Structure 1
């Protein structure tokens, strides 16, 4: 008795789950049609074609094999052929309309011979299968199973209520065909679900990669800033410690103040070293004690890029004077990243690098032409984050950066890094971008201001 009671409870639970799945899933389809817009267009065309075919063949079938007049046959065929098209937008209403149409067709018709299937005519099975397939592409497998069971239950009730020879045999082919359609729809829907999840995972992975790259660049900038600030703090410490001995007539109070300044500077250096220990790691490409590069290292960088297959010209630089270490380092990194992009995305192109001081700012410009011959890019897939790192550096110095394509297939990166006023410059003169673009053989002209920053990163 316990086994029978337990089996009854499981059957009732399954029936309730199927009913809930049928109503709930059909009311709120789980996913869009697989294949996106293109898949939806293809499916719409196929369903419309099958609906027209079902209407024409259904009318002829009811007239020839079920002894109906043309009027009733056309009306019943229209009721059966309409729901497959409706299922594209309203799956729940379409399914119940189709089920009601085929039940009404079976109740109002009788086959003209014993060879004709009943209660489901051949054309009824066709429209049922199309509707079930379209709805199954968006509903869950549980809902598809519930729909299949509903068709079987409706056919069994008709077979019990209407004494028709061979009525039970007519249910078997329809049940088999609809089962295959339901399984196929579930397989296609599952594949669409997997593809959608993979697409979302790729988007999340790309976003995480971009964020990790940006954080790595920020950490690198922080490490470099440590080296720059540590140098100045060390100078302050030395000057404060030696001031009482270098300067005559320093009072005890002033000597104590100098000592406090030196102690505070040493504590600041210790804090920065602890922070640097967190930022650095043993895989750091900068090493633990490697001097930071600057503008003096540009010739070596240009020579390395030439060995990579890019013809680079370093424009003769005028007198730039003494530059802050952070500006010199950032200018070097900007040129380095821009030339790396040329090597990765425009192999065989010609590039020109210009660094000059004008209007109270350091102007850094790198322009490359299109490759002279078609070559496969070192990294065919774009979407890097080099420009993001450039913008981080320039924003740190309150500068300006413009990057974009130029006519002819080239690319231009231009940065303006503000400088403290020198003795021969007016401190009230704001740094402004120099309008004159670099010149040289094979270098494209400057892009118009309407060009938005884009291109290889």
Structure 2
């Protein structure tokens, strides 16, 4: 990230990072107008009103106004030139006789140009540089007060005050803008990190649950292979050795899986050893939601699906109903679980649709939302090779539709 002090930022024009084009062009426009207006005016005032030599007046006018264009990109370097030119002009005016009504050491147009330069400095330079610039201005003003021509009052104090106000005001506004920009960047980064953490937590949870599902099947394979010799009479020796090898391989695989995935299990969490829920437990979710004050119409089917698919369907309905309770309490909701079979493939469709909350008594328990629940749904559907469709309804409410492949071939094709 570029800072006001970094070399990359120093090469950019003032306000170059603004989103609107007219704001980016504003410093160039102001500098151009100042140069066009002040250059002939300065020559006229120094040569005619103050009686300075025309060549010297022209040289001073150019060095006091032209660097304002440079100030759009390099305001500090422009300040060196203009500050030196203003000091040279003040001493040059001491060599000529001019009317007492005229101000010294800085004619009005020089004050205008110097304040514009201070505004550019405040937009670019750090606080320490701004302080040094003001101290140099104040020191020069104090020094010039000792050589004020007789009968005249110097206006260096006015320049010191106006430049200080310009530097402080613009510098403070710039630092406030930078603080807000960094805060917005941190909030964006934090939100991305929260989303990433939620995704990782959901993946860990899925891994723990799948570990239990796979461990159950591996345990069944091990038991069946170990007891084959006792359940099946007349097994040849080579077949008994085959079953023994299968049992040993399954037992070894089960141990490896537990060592690799066991770190994902939180030993302090309660209920980790309970059987994982499936389609038969969705009805209990609906009953609990009805008790929470949400009218739910539930239709289901007696589908024989793999445990991983049943578990994913249960979690999707669980998260969808939880969102209804949080964001649309009292809204009528339909939950449907159905199976469709076509040729050699079968799919389980999970549909949760809720309408808008009843008016005017229902108040959302939570305003807005992070969308992290949808992250978990998508991850579960992706895991089994399914499809997820979510979104608001035209008349209010929300729809969650998941299509989960039941057969292995369909799952591979969807993935």
Report the CA distance shift for 1:164/1:353 in structure 2 as closer, same or farther (over 3 A): same
Matched, 1:190 2:172: no
Which among 266, 270, 285 is matched to residue 281 of structure 1? 266
Matched, 1:211 2:181: no
Which among 205, 218, 221 is matched to residue 220 of structure 1? 205
Q: CA RMSD in A?
A: 4.6
CA shift for structure 1 position 225: 0.2
- Residue 384 of structure 2 aligns with which residue? 397
- Residue 452 of structure 1 aligns with which residue? none
- Residue 301 of structure 2 aligns with which residue? 318
Describe the superposition over 1:352-380 as per-residue Cα deviations: whole angstroms up to 9, x where unpaired. 11110002110111112222325543221
Matched, 1:293 2:283: no
CA shift for structure 1 position 395: 1.2
Report the CA distance shift for 1:39/1:303 in structure 2 as closer, same or farther (over 3 A): farther
**How far apart are the structure 2 equivalents of 1:241 and 1:23?**
71
SS of 2:349's equivalent in the other structure is: strand
- Residue 265 of structure 1 aligns with which residue? 250
**How far apart are the structure 2 equivalents of 1:281 and 1:350?**
37
* Structure 1 residues without counterparts, runs of 5 or longer: 1-20, 422-426, 433-457
Describe the superposition over 1:181-221 as per-residue Cα deviations: whole angstroms up to 9, x where unpaired. 22333322222232222222212211111111000000000
Matched, 1:353 2:340: no
Which among 227, 239, 242 is matched to residue 224 of structure 2? 239
* TM-score of the superposed pair, with normalisation by structure 1: 0.70
**How far apart are the structure 2 equivalents of 1:415 and 1:255?**
45
Matched, 1:140 2:123: no
**How far apart are the structure 2 equivalents of 1:22 and 1:101?**
26
Describe the superposition over 1:359-408 as per-residue Cα deviations: whole angstroms up to 9, x where unpaired. 21101111122223255432213223222211111111111111122211
- Residue 385 of structure 1 aligns with which residue? 372
How many residue pairs align between the two structures?
Answer: 397
Matched, 1:363 2:349: yes
Report the CA distance shift for 1:282/1:134 in structure 2 as closer, same or farther (over 3 A): farther
SS of 2:381's equivalent in the other structure is: helix
Contact 1:119 1:167 in 2 (8 A): no
CA shift for structure 1 position 242: 0.5
- Residue 414 of structure 1 aligns with which residue? 401
Report the CA distance shift for 1:164/1:26 in structure 2 as closer, same or farther (over 3 A): farther
Matched, 1:124 2:117: no
SS of 1:417's equivalent in the other structure is: strand
* TM-score of the superposed pair, with normalisation by structure 2: 0.77
CA shift for structure 1 position 336: 1.1
89-98 or 335-344, which deviates more: 89-98
Report the CA distance shift for 1:329/1:23 in structure 2 as closer, same or farther (over 3 A): closer
Contact 1:26 1:92 in 2 (8 A): no
Contact 2:14 2:72 in 1 (8 A): no
- Residue 335 of structure 1 aligns with which residue? 317
Contact 2:290 2:296 in 1 (8 A): yes
* Structure 2 residues without counterparts, runs of 5 or longer: none
Contact 2:145 2:154 in 1 (8 A): no
**How far apart are the structure 2 equivalents of 1:391 and 1:222?**
15
Describe the superposition over 1:104-159 as per-residue Cα deviations: whole angstroms up to 9, x where unpaired. 87578779654654222344323322331233122222443454466568778988
Contact 2:141 2:157 in 1 (8 A): no
Report the CA distance shift for 1:370/1:31 in structure 2 as closer, same or farther (over 3 A): farther
**How far apart are the structure 2 equivalents of 1:231 and 1:124?**
87
**How far apart are the structure 2 equivalents of 1:239 and 1:430?**
28
**How far apart are the structure 2 equivalents of 1:23 and 1:209?**
31
Contact 2:340 2:347 in 1 (8 A): yes
SS of 1:137's equivalent in the other structure is: helix
Describe the superposition over 1:217-256 as per-residue Cα deviations: whole angstroms up to 9, x where unpaired. 0000001101110111111011000001111221223222
410-419 or 174-183, which deviates more: 174-183
Contact 1:356 1:363 in 2 (8 A): yes
CA shift for structure 1 position 180: 3.3
CA shift for structure 1 position 264: 2.2
